[in-house]
Chains A and B, each alone.
Chain A
Amino acid sequence: MALRMRGLSDRAVAWLFIAPTMLLLLAINIFPLLWTVKLSFTNYRANRPNAEVVSVGIDHYVSILTDPDVWGPMQATAHFLFWTIVLQTLIGFALAFLIDRKFRGHGFWTTLILVPMMLSPAVVGNFWAFLYQPQIGLFNYVVSFFTGMEPSSFEMLGSVKLAPWAIIIVDTWMWTPYVMLICLAGLRSIPDHIYEAAEVDRASPWRQFWSITLPMVLPFIMLAVLFRGIENFKMFDMVNLLTSGGPGSTTELASITLKREAFEKWRTGYASAFAIILFVAVFGLANIYVKALNAVKSR
């Protein structure tokens, strides 16, 4: 008991230590969030601060949720999400499986493979725009080298058909290492004795893969998928630099629509409602994500 009498009590220390973080988050995250909610019920425009602000009730929410045009960005986002997750999971798992063979120098190669995911997405988008240049770009050259197509006959970023795939390719290039790293941790968490027991039971390698490896790595794959899902749902920087949502609006993901509404058309009220809807969606995903995190942790 004498312990507690000296200096500050544990209770005081706890609050003293947590309060600054909470204050920062309240000031920079929660207060602005509440402000967004308030703005979403008005016709406020940030480029006309002196204009009269009129309350419009839930009009913005109704118009967003019933407007068929809003489904364009939602579909673009869903297409982007689906294919990036499928490709990154397949390639990432395959890579992890190979690296888990523990060949000589696997640490060195793993570090090299990880480099793309550490880079700035905006800078990555910018230099891939250079690689994707028709005629002079390296990407078109390599494709034409292997397929014999004219390098100037297709534009990865300018064609309505190819642009959605152009952003998927760059995202997959960048983030496959992420999925690989998490899958590798999953593979390494499987204790050897389980395989030994399976070997004693004469289970084929194929059987071992489906009934031991995959089920035991699955929680890790889920974790990677959810994290990539949340990140790509918010995707802005890389795609903004590559296509800015074009051509037309074929690669206009939700965040790019939001930026156009808020910072180009200056429909602040409308954009705020859109932001709240996106936030609720991400928050739902985040909730699932944290449950998955805890499931993996308790392993």
Chain B
Amino acid sequence: MSAVTSRGISTAHSVVEPTAASRWVAGVLVALYAFITLVPLVWIVLTSIKSPPDSISYPPKVTFSPTTQGYCNLFTTRSRQTPEYIAALPPSEDSCERIARANNMVVVGQSNYVARFVNSLIIAFGSTALSVILGTMAAYAFSRFKVPGKDDLLFFILSTRMMPPIAVAIPIYLMYRELGLSDTRLGMILLYSAVNVSLAVWLLKGFIDEIPREYEEAAMVDGYTRLQAFRKVVLPQATTGIVATAIFCLIFSWNEYAFAVLLTSGSAQTAPPFIPIIIGEGGQDWPAVAAGTTLFLIPILVFTVLLRKHLLRGITFGAVRK
């Protein structure tokens, strides 16, 4: 690099390093884009702490007095009562109850949001565990052994993910009805695992390819069997890759909607099909919907930060590594 010092080129660095001015302009433009792109998200978070009238006021309100009513409405069900009935009730310690009473209502029970959220958690973690275990094993085999028709098998595995979900849902719907798996968590875990295992195999094969074979071979010379070498040498080396893959699987299962809305209706329903149907009196209760959305998105924000370094790899099935 330093060899390039001919006239007209002040330093070697100026050739490839952008000038200070161009950096500054680029920084401002990118920050501007980031601001604009985050406005919708900020708006949803703000809406979640507005009162229902504030949430639908015109012009849209940027300053308002925050309330927990959206979150209360998300977690409770309420019924309307006469003012006389409410006045006769003993004073309540519960803040949600007080907000409800101010609107001539009383809290009568819990909403289904917590149950749907728990379903989302169980199904996401269950399917992630299954697909990562299966994916790690298959990826190791594809990475280390001569498997006949390896490329075709890998392409077959990838192609299963290319199927339109609705096309898959038609026979799955019939099959699950026959097997009694309709609207069960187990059914959804198996289904999401089948979708995620393709990503898991492709990603993990890339990660395992990067672990030198010499490590296992040395261990096997020392008396380990192939399985012991896999467990005690390869798995610890692949931990980062396995964790990154697991987070990608979690995100997919957490976000999935098409299968969930077609194949679950009650006991196994996850949060994405539930959030849009949160209805208040007289139409959609936007603060409650926004509250449900906000809580649902927080885990994803955490995952995005955790995954920063491996994001590129995950979204390209391991094709681009950096």
A residues with a Cβ closer than 8 A to B are 3, 6-8, 10-11, 13-18, 20-22, 24-25, 27-33, 35-36, 39, 46, 95, 98-99, 101-107, 109-123, 126-128, 130-131, 133, 135-138, 141, 151, 173, 177-178, 181-182, 185, 188-189, 192-193, 195-196, 199-200, 202, 220, 223, 227, 230, 233-234, 236-237, 240-241, 254-255, 258-259, 262-263, 268, 271-272, 275-276, 278-279, 282-283, 285-286, 289-290, 293, 296-297
Contact = CB atoms under 8 A, between A and B. Distances in A.
Given A136-B57, A259-B262, A275 B191 contact: no
A231 B194 CA distance: 18
Interface in B298-313: 300-301, 303-305, 308, 311-312
A254 B165 CA distance: 12
Given A25-B194, A28-B190, A200-B6, A18 B163 contact: no
A295 B135 CA distance: 24
Contact of B303 (A112, A118, A285): A118
Nearest to B17: A102
Contact of A120 (B8, B26, B169, B254): B254
Given A17-B141, A119-B300, A151-B58, A106 B319 contact: no
* Interface range on chain B (Cβ under 8 Å from partner): 35 or more
Contacts of A10: 144-145, 226
Contacts of A282: 162-164
Nearest to B164: A234
B85 interface: no
Given A21-B197, A101-B27, A113 B37 contact: yes
B40 A17 contact: no
A181 B262 CA distance: 32
Interface string B196-218: 01100100000000000000000
B193 A24 contact: yes
**Residue from B9, B22, B58, B198 with most neighbouring chain A CB atoms (10 Å):** B58
A7 B230 CA distance: 12
A14 to B, nearest CB: 4
Interface string B175-196: 1000000000000001101100
B255 A11 contact: no
Nearest to A256: B166
Nearest to B147: A14
Contacts of A25: 156-157, 160, 194, 197-198
B155 interface: yes
Contacts of B242: none
30 contacts: A6-B225, A8-B225, A8-B226, A17-B140, A21-B157, A33-B168, A95-B33, A101-B18, A102-B18, A106-B27, A109-B27, A110-B30, A114-B311, A115-B301, A116-B37, A117-B315, A120-B254, A120-B300, A123-B293, A126-B293, A133-B56, A137-B60, A189-B322, A192-B1, A192-B15, A200-B9, A237-B257, A240-B261, A275-B167, A290-B158
Given A7-B225, A8-B225, A138-B43, A109 B164 contact: no
Contacts of A114: 304, 311
Contact of B9 (A105, A106, A199, A223): A199
Interface of B is mostly: helix
Contacts of B75: none
A123 B289 CA distance: 10
Contacts of B235: none
Given A11-B145, A282-B164, A119 B297 contact: yes
Given A18-B141, A21-B138, A28 B172 contact: yes
Contacts of A136: 56-58, 60
Contacts of A8: 225-227
B4 interface: yes
Given A25-B197, A122-B276, A241-B276, 10 more contacts: A7-B227, A10-B144, A11-B145, A13-B226, A16-B137, A24-B197, A32-B172, A35-B174, A130-B284, A282-B162
Contacts of B167: 36, 258, 275-276, 278-279
Contacts of A117: 315
Interface in B22-72: 22-24, 26-27, 29-31, 33-34, 37-41, 43-44, 47, 56-60
A230 B162 contact: yes
A105 B23 CA distance: 11
B272 interface: yes
B119 to A, nearest CB: 14
B275 interface: yes
A35 B175 contact: yes
B145 A268 contact: no
Nearest to B230: A13
A255 B166 contact: yes
